[in-house]
């Protein structure tokens, strides 16, 4: 008995093309993927096609003549009827569909079509569209986004107030997902890695990365600010038009492409619909307290604005050992949750006839040790500074003000020892710090789950923005 050639197996499921242990039925009924080498190529390599081997096995194992392997001419090309041994007359029978999960066709070098929320213009609702996502180029990573949260910064850009806002664009910068493919020269990531895309990169080479005093890597700052990849182009298209990137991340898309210095590899067991929040808001507020202000044990703090970033700031103050944390907001509905995160007490400026900074100075015997503005309002920024204690008080600007806004105070406030500081992403050097923040969450050192107040599908993203503007949610997560 002649032995069949063993040169090939199906790239989708591993079934051998020809082997003594492979039945004729499994060969002729198998649904070969389009990516499998064509008949001519297979014959040139080993001298036999799968059909040749199937016929050979039929001759060697069956007393009757081999059955035809191709559909009869009168059958439609799409017909699924094949033939196999089925009794004395070997009558044609319908081959059952192949069951079992097949690996997906490799898309590493192909354009992927997927859904995304596109912002075609400022001030208009996002539009759910089918977009094309090009393969990653050199030093780029394409990521399948699993979950992404909505942040006030996304709404700020969509409103048209962002000086760097460009349209049309795919927003989103608090996401998490799985690496789908990598471009040439990428050595730190591979397909299947669990990652968080980063709006502040960390190249590890520029003077900013080499300086321990800052996290503001400038390697790709210019192109990122223009909504482009480092090579000056975009990977997104929709309806024949180029769609811009946003903050180097664009997580409101099922797939996105980012620079390889803008990705942090994290614990694969971490729940992505939770840790996606560590891509911006939680890390920013938490880091403002522990990194930028460096809150000391036993200190008194005031946090202005009790949204997601404000709550994260309260959490940071508590972790740092502050003995008194005062939450400040005009929405009393936020007070109970602020206390759950560590606020000692909460006050509403509208309940007082005098400026809130004077109220805080009276409450704290001269002012707070640390204050944080987590709103983006320049008047509140001044109040936060002036609520600080003379001689050593530190005020940190966390919120982002609208384009063209300016801050002001009397110089005497600074001359007498107060310090005014700002922070971006909480001062964290992103690539090295985000995995550590995920580990802190997994070990229950910091809260994350408690920030999530709802989950929606991509189709419901505009409703999620409405919830955010109403103050009824902290963070809403879009699950893909």
Other beta carbons less than 10 A from residue 443's beta carbon: 8
What is the predicted pLDDT for the residue at 472? 82
Q: What is the pLDDT of residue 262?
A: 98
For residue 105, what pLDDT is reported? 54
Strand ranges in 317-364 using DSSP code E only, listed in sequence order: 324-328, 345-347
Residue 370, preceding bond cis, omega within 30 degrees?
A: no
List the chain pLDDT tens, one digit each, 480 residues: 444 444 444 544 444 444 433 333 333 344 444 444 443 333 333 444 444 444 444 444 444 443 343 444 444 444 443 433 434 343 333 333 333 333 345 677 899 999 999 999 999 999 999 999 999 999 999 999 999 999 999 998 999 888 888 999 999 999 999 999 999 999 999 999 999 999 999 999 999 999 999 999 999 999 999 999 999 999 999 999 999 999 999 999 999 999 999 999 999 999 999 999 999 999 999 999 999 999 999 999 999 999 999 999 999 999 999 999 999 999 999 999 999 999 999 999 999 999 999 999 999 999 999 999 999 999 999 999 999 999 999 999 999 888 889 999 999 999 999 999 999 999 999 999 999 999 999 999 999 999 999 999 999 999 999 998 888 889 999 999
pLDDT at position 49: 47
Catalytic residues: 151-153, 173-174, 203, 206, 209, 217, 221, 280, 475
| Spatial CA neighbour of 329 closest among 301, 356, 306, 352 | 306
Per-residue DSSP letter, 353: S
Helical axes 378-386 vs 356-363, angle rounded to 10° = 30
d(CA 314, CA 316): 5
Looking at the DSSP bridge assignments, the partners of residue 253 are: 116
pLDDT number for residue 26 = 39
- Closest by CA to 174, choosing from 275, 310, 286, is 275
Strands of 134-271, DSSP E? 140-149, 169-170, 174-182, 194-197, 236-238, 241-243, 255-259, 263-265
């Amino acid at each position: 008995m002649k032995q069949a050639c063993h040169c090939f197996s199906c790239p989708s499921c591993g079934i051998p093309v020809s082997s003594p242990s492979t039945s004729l039925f499994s060969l002729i009924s198998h649904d070969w993927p389009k990516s499998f080498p064509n008949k001519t190529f297979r014959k040139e390599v080993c001298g036999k096609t799968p059909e040749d081997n199937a016929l050979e096995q039929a001759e060697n194992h069956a007393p009757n003549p081999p059955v035809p392997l191709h559909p009869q001419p009168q059958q439609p090309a799409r017909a699924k009827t094949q033939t196999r041994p089925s009794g004395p007359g070997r009558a044609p029978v319908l081959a059952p569909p192949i069951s079992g999960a097949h690996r997906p066709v490799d898309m590493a070098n192909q354009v992927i079509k997927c859904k995304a929320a596109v912002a075609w213009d400022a001030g208009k609702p996002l539009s759910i569209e089918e977009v094309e996502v090009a393969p990653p180029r050199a030093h780029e990573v394409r990521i399948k986004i699993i979950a992404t949260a909505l942040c006030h910064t996304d709404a700020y850009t969509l409103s048209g107030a962002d000086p760097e806002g460009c349209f049309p664009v795919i927003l989103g910068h608090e996401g998490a997902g799985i690496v789908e493919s990598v471009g040439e020269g990428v050595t730190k990531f591979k397909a299947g890695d669990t990652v968080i895309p980063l709006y502040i990169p960390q190249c590890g080479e520029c003077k900013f990365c080499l300086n321990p005093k800052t996290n503001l890597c400038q390697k790709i700052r210019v192109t990122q600010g223009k909504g482009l990849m480092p090579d000056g182009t975009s990977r997104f298209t929709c309806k024949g038009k180029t769609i811009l990137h946003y903050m180097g991340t664009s997580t409101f898309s099922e797939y996105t492409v980012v620079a390889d210095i803008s990705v942090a590899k994290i614990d694969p067991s971490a729940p992505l619909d939770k840790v996606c929040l560590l891509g911006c808001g939680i890390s920013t507020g938490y880091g403002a307290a522990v990194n930028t202000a460096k809150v000391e044990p036993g200190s008194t703090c005031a946090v202005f604005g009790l949204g997601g970033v404000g709550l994260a700031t309260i959490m940071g103050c508590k972790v740092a050992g502050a003995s008194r944390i005062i939450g400040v907001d005009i929405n009393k509905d936020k007070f109970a949750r602020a206390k759950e995160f560590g606020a000692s007490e909460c006050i509403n400026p509208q309940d007082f006839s005098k400026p809130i900074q004077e109220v805080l100075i009276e409450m704290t015997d001269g002012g707070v040790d640390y204050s944080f503005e987590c709103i983006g309002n320049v008047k509140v920024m001044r109040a936060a500074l002036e609520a600080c204690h003379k001689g050593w008080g530190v005020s940190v600007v966390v919120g982002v003000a609208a384009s063209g806004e300016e801050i002001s105070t009397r110089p005497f406030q600074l001359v007498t020892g107060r310090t005014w500081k700002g922070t971006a992403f909480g001062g964290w050097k992103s690539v090295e710090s985000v995995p550590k923040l995920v580990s802190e969450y997994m070990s229950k050192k910091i809260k994350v789950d408690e920030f999530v107040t709802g989950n929606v599908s991509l189709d419901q993203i505009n409703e999620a923005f409405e919830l955010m503007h109403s103050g009824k949610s902290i963070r809403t997560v879009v699950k893909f």
